[in-house]
Structure 1
């Protein structure tokens, strides 16, 4: 949906080459975890920790049980709102896609 909106609103003439969806989701998760550290959110109990303090379960997975090294709290967050998954996916798209302008103003209200 986010990629469709980038195209629909003519943010860029082309999305560029291959879009690595897994990379987008991992980037969104990383942005989510950064925000969780900053606001002392629930994910600080499992995944939102500095690298030197990260813990894994005995089987090598995340403590929260999240799949594919994505925090369970990210999966469980509401889709909309300032801490919603769509917000983080949108931020990840803006971070990863080279076609999105890095400077200047971009109308990007998320509701």
Structure 2
């Protein structure tokens, strides 16, 4: 019984499209389409709101009321969103991958992103 169940699950996973698997990281194009231009809430080590503007600029508002500005870009080779905040991290760039996670997104840095207004 266990063996037939494993065979059935293996066969089913082969038939699923790649993007149907929840653990798949988003491509640069998917990130552009789904995250850029939208205001998002983020939760993790820090909490607040963020918007990645189509111009390549970003604005982050922490729950403590601090506004931080920076720049972002897509790393197509790794399918990552990279950001640089001038006031923090000695202006070092940090890149992270993103995947769908229920209602919203999850980053490989442990942050949950959710669209605002819902």
TM-score, reference length from structure 2:
0.26
Q: Which has the higher strand share?
A: 2
TM-score w.r.t. length of structure 1:
0.27
Q: Which has the higher contact order (CA 8 A, sep 6+)?
A: 1
- Name which one, 1 or 2, has greater alpha-carbon Rg: 2
